[in-house]
């Protein structure tokens, strides 16, 4: 039999009515209620078994006394114990031994990459490609040499750093100190550019050659090939730390340059420094 208007069946109503529309008081399905009650019981059980309630200065520990913080700490300690085995070997081994051991080498490469990202990438770039005033570590141009030992020495003691054995070289500010006149600086710059085939004034370059021989050759060499023992760069290639246009070369000769790299000894442990040296050497520019 069809329900008549206003017939609510067995549900009853809540007593609310709007414009003749009544709100039924129909019970929820049994399965939904049982699930809801089960969730309440589960929540109460969880509060009892596991840490759950904040207290004034601590928290409820739960029957099991479980602590996620302690679990993480245990996992970190276990990982550190596993790492310490390799790091102890790296700390005690020389660089050649580490390179010759595939297992140690893989570990050192991973550690070096992480250490590079944390400590070196802000200056040299994430990909070690360098930037203005910061050398590219992927090429084969090194002021003090790109051997594994040379790289390790540079990382350990820095460049112009506050370390007694830091790498140190100082080019005079020829123009600023009045050692050369502006026209002489210009001529030397022209000669320096001519070493890589970029001179724009052959007559000026010829005059600059004489000035170069008297003032610059003692460090850079008679042909401008550089001297790694002194940290003097090769001027005959087309790779420039601060730029190779005429104005920039004039600026360099006039006021000199004085880039600085910190000494990482004391900042990083010996194993990490070795890992860094091996990683940097592997980038493609190691000799």
pLDDT tens track for 24-75:
888 889 999 999 999 999 999 998 998 888 888 888 888 888 888 888 888 8
More confident residue, 22 or 192: 192
- Give binding residues as ranges: 120, 123-124, 171, 216, 219-220, 261
Residues 78 and 201 grouped into a single domain:
no
91 & 33 share domain: no
pLDDT tens string 9-32: 566 788 888 888 888 888 889 999
Name the binding residues for heme c: 120, 123-124, 171, 216, 219-220, 261
Indicate if 95 and 199 belong to the same structural domain.
Answer: no
Asked which of 76-85, 102-111, 231-240 is least confident by mean pLDDT, the reply is 76-85
pLDDT for res 9: 57
**Are residue 84 and residue 58 in the same domain, yes or no?**
no
Residue 103 lies in a domain: yes
Give yes or no: residues 35 and 105 share one domain: no
Q: Let me know the angle formed at the C-alpha of 213 by 212 and 217, rounded to the nearest 5 degrees.
A: 85
Which pTM was predicted? Answer: 0.72
- Tokens 């050759």 -> residue: 217
Average pLDDT over residues 261-271: 95
Q: Output the CA angle 117-144-153, nearest 5 degrees.
A: 60
Question: Is residue 11 in some structural domain?
Answer: no
pLDDT in tens, 199-217: 889 999 999 999 999 999 9
pLDDT at position 2, please? 41
**pLDDT recorded at residue 20:** 83
For residue 46, which of 58, 62, 32, 35 has the smallest C-alpha distance?
62
**Total domains, the chain:** 3
On whether residue 267 sits in a domain, the answer given is: yes
């Amino acid at each position: 039999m069809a329900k008549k208007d206003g017939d609510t069946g067995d549900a009853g109503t809540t007593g609310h009515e709007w414009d003749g529309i009544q709100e039924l008081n129909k019970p929820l399905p049994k399965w939904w209620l049982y699930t809801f009650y089960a969730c309440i019981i589960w929540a109460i059980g969880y509060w009892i078994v596991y840490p759950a309630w904040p207290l004034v200065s601590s928290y409820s520990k739960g029957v099991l006394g479980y602590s996620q913080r302690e679990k993480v700490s245990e996992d970190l300690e276990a990982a550190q114990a596993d790492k310490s085995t390799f790091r102890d070997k790296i700390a005690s081994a020389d660089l050649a031994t580490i390179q010759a051991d595939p297992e140690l080498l893989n570990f050192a490469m991973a550690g070096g990459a992480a250490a590079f990202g944390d400590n070196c990438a802000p200056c040299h770039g994430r990909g070690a490609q360098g930037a203005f005033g910061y050398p590219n570590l992927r090429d084969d141009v090194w002021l003090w040499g790109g051997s594994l030992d040379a790289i390790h020495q540079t990382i350990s003691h820095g460049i112009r750093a506050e370390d007694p054995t830091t790498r140190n070289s100082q080019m005079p500010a020829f123009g600023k100190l009045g050692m050369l006149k502006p026209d002489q600086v210009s001529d030397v710059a022209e000669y320096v550019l001519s070493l890589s085939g970029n001179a724009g004034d052959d007559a000026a370059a010829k005059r600059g050659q004489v000035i170069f021989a008297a003032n610059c050759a003692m460090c850079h060499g008679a042909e401008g090939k550089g001297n790694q023992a002194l940290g003097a760069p090769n001027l005959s290639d087309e790779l420039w730390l601060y730029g190779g246009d005429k104005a920039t070369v004039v600026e360099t000769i006039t006021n000199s340059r004085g880039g600085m790299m910190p000494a990482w000894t004391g900042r990083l442990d010996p194993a990490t420094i070795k890992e860094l040296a091996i990683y940097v050497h592997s980038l493609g520019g190691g000799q």
